[in-house]
Amino acid sequence: MAIEVTDSNFDKEVLQSTLPVLVDFWAPWCGPCRAIGPIIEELSELYAGKVKICKFDVDSGSIVSAKYGIRAVPTLIFFKNGEVAHQTTGAVSKSSLKEVIDTKMLG
């Protein structure tokens, strides 16, 4: 299951993680966010123990959203060793996300 992250625990859960991290910046009112929600959950099960999957509600946290320039949701940011390794905006297919994880995060 994806981990809910906020402004207060983002550094600990994402930037200090020993595993690569995928953060789904989303909002409850966002249709495309709800559409990829099940894909994010599937990936959290598929990559359990290999990649940490997190969700960040942009309506409840503005500090991290501003830091990473989140202007549209969903925005997916892939972190490796605390650094941004890849970023994409919009509803993305499961196969596209798997390819990024396998090549840029685990490859």
Q: Which residues are catalytic?
A: 30, 33
Which tokens hold the place of 33? Answer: 């966010």
What single-letter amino acid sits at 62? Answer: S
Element holding 38 (H helix, E strand): helix 31-46
Helix and strand totals (H; E) in the chain: 4, 5
User: Residue 104: how many CB atoms within 10 A of its CB?
Assistant: 13
Q: Judging by DSSP bridges, how do beta strands 52-57 and 21-26 pair with one another? A: parallel
